[in-house]
């Protein structure tokens, strides 16, 4: 019997993904970084398993949030581990991004950095 695919409801909010861009003064001195959003995805907050905490611990990070999003074609050939994520004005480092075997969903493992300065 074939399993029927269904679309899961991802209605916990929206995350913005992108990169940090260095800001410089007119003399070229580094004065900070600003978040440069590159896209937006609806997400569902996931519960973290013991294996998630162990995997993140091995990478030398702490897991604050795990979210599930759809896997947009525009991210197929992009290194998603280098992204920064902003949810509700809070900035997160992306520790790791996994996809499911059918390449329908992405799982973002996030470590909180602090308040986003957009």
2: in domain: no
68-110 tens-digit pLDDT: 999 998 888 888 888 999 999 999 999 999 998 888 999 999 9
14-38 tens-digit pLDDT: 999 998 888 888 888 888 888 889 9
Give the C-alpha distances (Å, rounded to integers) separating 41 from 10, 27, 47, 59, 117.
Answer: 9, 37, 19, 25, 20
Q: Give the pLDDT confidence score for residue 1 in this predicted structure.
A: 47
Measure the CA–CA gap between 111 and 105, rounded to whole angstroms: 20
Cβ-contact 105, 70 below 8 angstroms: yes
81: in domain: yes
Measure the CA–CA gap between 87 and 67, rounded to whole angstroms: 11
Residue labelled with tokens 């920064």:
84
Residue labelled with tokens 């996931």:
46
8: in domain: no
5: in domain: no
Domain that holds residue 89: 13-115
110: in domain: yes
Residues 6+ apart with CB under 8 A from 48: 63, 66
Q: Report pTM.
A: 0.84
User: How many Cα atoms are found within 13 Å in the side-chain-facing hemisphere of 85?
Assistant: 28
In this structure, what CATH number is given to the domain that contains residue 63?
Answer: 2.40.10.270
Count: domains in the chain: 1
34: in domain: yes
Q: Give the pLDDT confidence score for residue 7 in this predicted structure.
A: 66
Q: Give the pLDDT confidence score for residue 12 in this predicted structure.
A: 93
């Amino acid at each position: 019997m074939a399993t029927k695919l269904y679309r899961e409801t991802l209605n916990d909010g929206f995350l913005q993904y992108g990169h940090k861009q260095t800001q410089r003064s007119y003399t070229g001195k580094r004065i900070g970084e600003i978040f440069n959003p590159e896209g937006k995805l609806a997400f569902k907050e996931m519960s973290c398993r013991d294996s998630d905490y162990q995997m993140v611990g091995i990478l030398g990070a702490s897991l604050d949030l795990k979210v599930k999003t759809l896997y947009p074609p525009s991210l197929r050939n992009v290194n998603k581990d280098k992204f920064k994520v902003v949810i509700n004005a809070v900035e997160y480092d992306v520790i790791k991004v996994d996809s499911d075997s059918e390449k329908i969903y992405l799982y973002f493992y996030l470590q909180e950095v602090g308040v986003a300065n957009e």
